[in-house]
Amino acid sequence: GPDSFNASQRRDLMEIVEDRYEAGSTLITSQLPIDAWHDVIGEPTFADAILDRLVHNAYRVELDGQSMRKTKLKTGDESAQNG
């Protein structure tokens, strides 16, 4: 899986989330399931604080299905193949 955040990365994410909390909309996308975020953030106290702020008042949209890359490759879409 992905590496855990280092101390600097945790502080940076906490600062961003804290600045954005209840100030405006924040969009986060991830291929990592939410139940794995604690492990990636790494420090339980920071993880709880960050996730509490992100999840509070959140709208969560989960997409499911085939990768668009795979779909485009199967149809022969050259733009997907050429990157």
Query: Does residue 80 carry a pLDDT above 70?
Result: no
């940076």: which residue's tokens?
12
Please say if the pLDDT value at position 72 is more than 70: yes
pTM of the model: 0.69
- Record the tokens describing residue 47, joined without a space: 């993880």
Residue 80 — left, alpha, or beta (φ > 0 → left; ψ -120 to 50 → alpha)? alpha
Q: How far apart are CA 75 and CA 83, in angstroms?
A: 15
pLDDT-derived band at 2, boundaries 50, 70, 90: confident
Residue 77 — pLDDT band, cuts 50, 70, 90?
low
State the Cα–Cα distance between residues 69 and 66, nearest whole angstrom: 8
The pLDDT, as a whole number, for residue 67 is: 78
Q: Output the six-digit token pair for 62.
A: 């989960």
